[in-house]
A and B are shown apart, each in its own frame.
Chain A
Amino acid sequence: MTTQGTDAKPQNELLNTLLDNFKIWTKKLSHPGLWITIVGVFILGYLPIADQSPEAAFANATARESTFTILMSIVLVSSLNILLGYTGYVSFGHIVFYGLGGYVGLYTIIEHQWPLWKAMAAGGAAAGVLALVLGSAILRLRGAYFALATIGINEAMRAFVSNYDPFGGAVGLSIHFRVYRETYGSYQDAFLVMYKAMLGLAIAAVVLSYLVKSSKFGLGLMAIREDEDASDIMGVIPYRSKIIAYMLSAILPGMVGVVFFFKASTIEPAAAFKLHTSIEWLVMIMLGGFGTIMGPVLGAYGYQNLRTILLTSEFFKNIQLAVAGLMLLGIILFIPAGLIGWLRRHISFTRRVLT
């Protein structure tokens, strides 16, 4: 279609628009950073499952588990980044979407024998709807007030679910071991399905956050982050944009909740709505660089690996929390832009490659 462009007259608006769009999309999709990230995540996820022979599966089992944790974090923090990094709204209680998704998903699996993918869709949808409803209310708040409201909502939700009988109240929900065998042959096979689902979600999260960032909508979000009132005056519709961003950042975590709690076979209010975990997500984003595509991915990877080292090392085992705290403080004080942000700012050529 580019050949037709040669005799395109300036007044040929439609063709120009098409050409423009074509150029934008080619440019968008040829950004090296996007592909580096996608390929990186894929390789990271594929390596532990590349060799399916029983010996290799056994040898790679720990790697699969820890990679699963990393992939899960990638989805969670890349999603949260849409709200936090692009829009500048600090959601402390973002775990509410993960918890609710997990509950809805497990409920459908236990009560209606839904397959995993359908339960994931349900969990994602529930999270999206919750974000829409909550967002319409609390996105009127700015700065720290918004952050506090998200904490309040998470606590209210936890207390509510503890009393809500269809979700098992304080006891929670639990999946019978037979479910894995009957549906997938064995827990191993079920885990492989979950693993692949998580890998898919991780890549989806990267693509989603890239598409949002490189879109007009994303530009609007970043304008809101920099100066909400000024963006309003320039014609960005802050309220609507924020709600959409909130929903986009909630749906994938809702689906992750389903996969994670399906893997654990059990869900309880305290595990589903644990505020501390939610704050860890913020830490990962800060480590990698907020508002970037690669930052959350690297942050998740680095943070989870670091935690593994601390948790399993004889020396740090007892004070791993304090060590992680010191690291976080160091990052906040000295490299507030995170790893990717720091590189982009100080080493100019990285700007073309890192995103």
Chain B
Amino acid sequence: MMILQVKGVSKRFGGLQALSNVTVDVPPGQILGLIGPNGAGKTTLFNVINGVYKPEEGEVIFKGKNVVGKKPYRLAHMGLSRTHQIVRPLKDLTVRENVMVGACFGSQNLSLGKAARIADEVLEFVRLRERANQLAGSLNVGQKKRLEMARSLAARPNLLLLDEVLAGLNPTEIAQMVEIVKEIRTRNTTIIMIEHVMHAVMKVSDQMLVLDFGKPIAYGTPSEIANNPKVIEAYLGDSSLADQFNAELAAKSAATAE
């Protein structure tokens, strides 16, 4: 059984067709990479999946239930977590409290005491343990990204939506984060990740979905996607990204050749 099925979802903002007829199935335990040029509708798809937006058409089936029209908190209770492209730390709360919010109100519905324990565990895992008592607003970008990650992990989600967790990180941080993602997957959590850092997303994804102007243009394993002319063409519309894409493909093939 699929943990998530998106069936023919369309979403419109005024005159803008943000998503049209997107369909994708995600089996449990998989990492799905979601890529596409800026404005392709990736984050919108996340927002539709976790109930922030209601699609005009289509269904989102999470754990066998159609969740269209359900509020985000309902999905959180059902075991869905996400991070945000632009980090949203709860600035005036401590790092630990931030993570406790995730643990307390997510699918586990833990008491404060348990949540605190889980929070410390998770902070250890994302290497923020020593900053637990700091205010979240005082962290740097990389730390904030890991905090977002910790917060959504603390909820013990079945499905985790990661929105550009690598953006803005330096290479060491990226490597760390990739390790964390891999580690999460071993805990039987399904992941969908939006990413622009190609080599990283290619490395960890089982399947990839490419969106362009709200339409799914390709679906397959990372190597299938890498060789799909439609994808390259889509990125060519956005020259800088196309360059990046090609450069990374080159790097990747170099790496595999070794």
Contact = CB atoms under 8 A, between A and B. Distances in A.
A and B touch in the complex (CB under 8 A): yes
Contact of A23 (B76, B82, B113, B152): B113
B111 A223 contact: no
B113 A220 contact: no
A230 B104 contact: no
Interface in B177-205: none
Contact of B84 (A20, A230, A232): A230
B60 interface: no
Given A23-B113, A24-B112, A219-B112, A234 B92 contact: no
B88 interface: yes
Contacts of B106: 234-235
Interface string A289-308: 00100000000000000000
B72 A219 contact: no
Contacts of A17: 111, 114
A24 B113 contact: yes
Interface in B155-193: 155
B114 A20 contact: yes
Interface string A16-31: 0100110110000000
B52 A233 contact: yes
A227 B147 CA distance: 15
Contacts of B114: 17, 20
A237 B105 CA distance: 9
Interface in B204-231: none
A223 B89 CA distance: 9
Interface string A233-258: 11111100000000000000000000
Given A216-B112, A234-B101, A223 B93 contact: yes
A337 B157 CA distance: 36
Contacts of B91: 226
Interface in B48-102: 50, 52, 71-73, 76-77, 81-82, 84, 88-93, 97, 100-102
Given A230-B84, A291-B92, A20 B113 contact: yes
B101 A236 contact: yes
Interface residues of A, number: 25
A230 B76 contact: no
Given A233-B50, A235-B77, A220 B104 contact: yes
A222 interface: yes
A215 to B, nearest CB: 7
A231 interface: yes
A215 B105 CA distance: 13
A143 B112 CA distance: 29
Contacts of A223: 90, 93, 101, 105
Interface centre among A17, A232, A237 (most CB of B within 10 A): A232
A236 B105 contact: yes
A227 B90 contact: yes
A234 B113 contact: no
Contacts of B111: 17, 20-21, 24, 216
A222 B112 contact: no
Given A23-B113, A234-B155, A235-B155, A219 B101 contact: yes
Given A229-B52, A233-B76, A235-B155, A219 B104 contact: yes
A54 to B, nearest CB: 51
B151 interface: yes
B100 A219 contact: yes
B143 to A, nearest CB: 17
Given A219-B101, A232-B72, A227 B112 contact: no
Contacts of B73: 232-238
29 contacts: A17-B114, A23-B113, A24-B111, A24-B113, A216-B104, A220-B101, A220-B104, A222-B90, A222-B93, A222-B97, A223-B90, A223-B101, A226-B89, A226-B92, A227-B90, A229-B52, A231-B101, A232-B71, A232-B73, A232-B76, A233-B50, A233-B52, A233-B72, A233-B76, A234-B73, A235-B76, A235-B77, A235-B105, A236-B73
The 3 closest A-B pairs by CB, nearest first: A235-B76, A235-B105, A226-B90
Interface of B: 50, 52, 71-73, 76-77, 81-82, 84, 88-93, 97, 100-102, 104-107, 111-115, 151-152, 155
Given A226-B92, A233-B72, 18 more contacts: A17-B111, A20-B111, A216-B104, A226-B89, A226-B93, A229-B88, A233-B50, A233-B52, A234-B73, A234-B81, A234-B152, A234-B155, A235-B77, A235-B102, A235-B104, A235-B106, A235-B155, A237-B71
